[in-house]
A = this chain, B = another copy of it.
């Protein structure tokens, strides 16, 4: 900052700053706004912003609980040959419950679920989370078909993985997807 601002303006900026950078301490904030640590504390108090440890904890908790519940959701398909951080294979046999009665075509979300499960399994982590997915359904999959999904980790940066999934029935591609999966330590 350098310059000293008035109270109102500073508090507005302070709020924005903490929203963007929630893990910052009062000391760093004091330096940034060129005021004392006490002033920052009064500001936080006035704005109802909790201390940095509370902020960190709330982010961790809010995220951790859904992650855990996602993790518990069962695996779709049988995993074969998973090489962590590289790729893997999963097999799903299409049964009566997965298809539309009328035409015996598999409901799309089963293929999605198989692919998603595999993408998550391939990532080497206690807990993994699908950030986003782009999927394409290429051919209808029918009752009795055996769907073989193949995962390839396209790239990894930090704890972010891009996993490509190609699902085939009798060597014919039926589904293709790219999943961005995040890994976390705990």
Task: Mark the stretch among A38-46, A63-71, A87-95 that contacts chain B.
Answer: A63-71
B112 and A66 form a contact (CB under 8 A)? no
Is A155 located at the chain interface by the 8 A CB criterion? no
Residues of B within 8 A of A53 (CB): 53, 56
Is A135 located at the chain interface by the 8 A CB criterion? yes
- Complex-state Cα separation, A186 to B65, whole angstroms: 16
Number of copies: 2
How far apart are A58's CB and chain B's nearest CB, in angstroms? Answer: 6
Residues of B within 8 A of A112 (CB): 133-135
A63 and B65 form a contact (CB under 8 A)? no
The residues of A with any CB-CB pair to B shorter than 8 Å are 18-19, 22-23, 53, 55-67, 69-70, 107-109, 112-113, 116, 126, 129-137, 158-160, 178, 182, 184-186
Between-chain CB contacts (< 8 Å), 22 pairs:
A18-B186, A19-B186, A22-B64, A23-B61, A23-B64, A53-B53, A53-B56, A56-B57, A59-B185, A62-B182, A62-B184, A63-B63, A63-B182, A63-B184, A65-B158, A109-B135, A109-B136, A109-B178, A112-B134, A130-B130, A135-B135, A136-B137
